[in-house]
């Protein structure tokens, strides 16, 4: 039986993970947060004092990394690094910069490409990231490019961090987001771009429910007959 894949791309903080989790729960699909996988490698580089911009050094780390993805009793995706749960650590602000830097290296992307595609071959998936619809799953049944203004994204990240008791500055967060946008969109390999057949969706002035409803209608239009409709 053919599996169904939904690709959600967009810049950092656009709400891709929140949207993908909600859609995957509604459909009963496997949710794959590819950004968390790259963050795990970024965290490994950070922990070992490796310069994330050094492609050779980042590639040299890969053979010794055992990266795991599983779902805990809380229903959330957890990431493990060499057997240790690093789900919380990889969300620290400084790891965003490491993740962005290591994800620009072809060796790192190639290392993870087959892992991501294998998940899509074996499961119905909702996968989010920066290049899912363009590189990882170019034949995805549904593609969405989700974005929001830099200020809206910064406010979301600020709220997320402060709720966890992490001290942060809104202006610094927005500048970090703008810097990451520039790096992701201008990197040589697999830059962040909207796939030609992706639906553009700006969530700046939308609630989560409104975004989920919009995606739900799109899924119905694209794969209703193939998937037998949504429950």
CA distances from 165 to 18, 63, 160 (A): 20, 35, 9
Look at residue 7 in the predicted model and tell me its pLDDT. 96
Please give the average per-residue pLDDT across 108-116, as a whole number.
89
End-to-end CA distance of the chain: 19
Please give the average per-residue pLDDT across 86-91, as a whole number.
93
33 vs 63: CA distance, rounded Å: 22
160 vs 182: CA distance, rounded Å: 23
- Residue 86 phi, psi (nearest 5): -120, 20
Predicted confidence (pLDDT) per residue in 202-223, tens digit: 999 998 889 888 888 888 887 6
- Cα radius of gyration rounded to whole Å, the chain: 17
The model's pTM = 0.76
Predicted confidence (pLDDT) per residue in 7-32, tens digit: 999 998 898 988 898 888 888 888 98
Predicted confidence (pLDDT) per residue in 27-52, tens digit: 888 898 888 999 999 999 999 999 99
Total H helices, total E strands in the chain = 8, 8
């Amino acid at each position: 039986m053919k599996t169904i894949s939904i690709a959600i791309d967009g810049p950092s903080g656009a709400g891709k993970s929140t949207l993908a989790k909600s859609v995957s729960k509604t459909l009963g699909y496997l949710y794959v947060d590819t950004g968390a996988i790259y963050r795990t490698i970024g965290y490994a580089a950070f922990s070992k004092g490796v310069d994330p911009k050094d492609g050779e050094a980042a590639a040299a780390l890969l053979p010794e990394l055992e990266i795991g993805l599983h779902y805990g009793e809380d229903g959330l995706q957890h990431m493990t690094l060499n057997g240790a749960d690093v789900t919380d650590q990889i969300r620290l602000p400084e790891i965003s910069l490491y993740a962005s830097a290591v994800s620009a290296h072809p060796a790192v992307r190639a290392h993870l490409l087959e892992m991501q595609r294998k998940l899509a071959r074996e499961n119905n998936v909702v996968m989010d990231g920066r290049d899912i619809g363009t590189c990882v799953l170019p034949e995805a049944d549904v593609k969405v490019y989700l974005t929001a203004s830099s200020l809206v994204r910064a406010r979301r990240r600020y709220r997320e961090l402060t709720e966890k008791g992490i001290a942060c500055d809104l202006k610094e967060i927005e500048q970090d987001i703008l810097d990451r946008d520039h790096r992701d969109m201008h990197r040589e390999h697999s830059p962040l771009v909207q796939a030609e057949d992706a639906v553009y969706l700006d969530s700046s002035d939308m609630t989560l429910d409104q975004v989920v409803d919009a995606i739900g209608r799109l899924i119905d239009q694209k794969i209703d007959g193939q998937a037998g409709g949504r429950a």
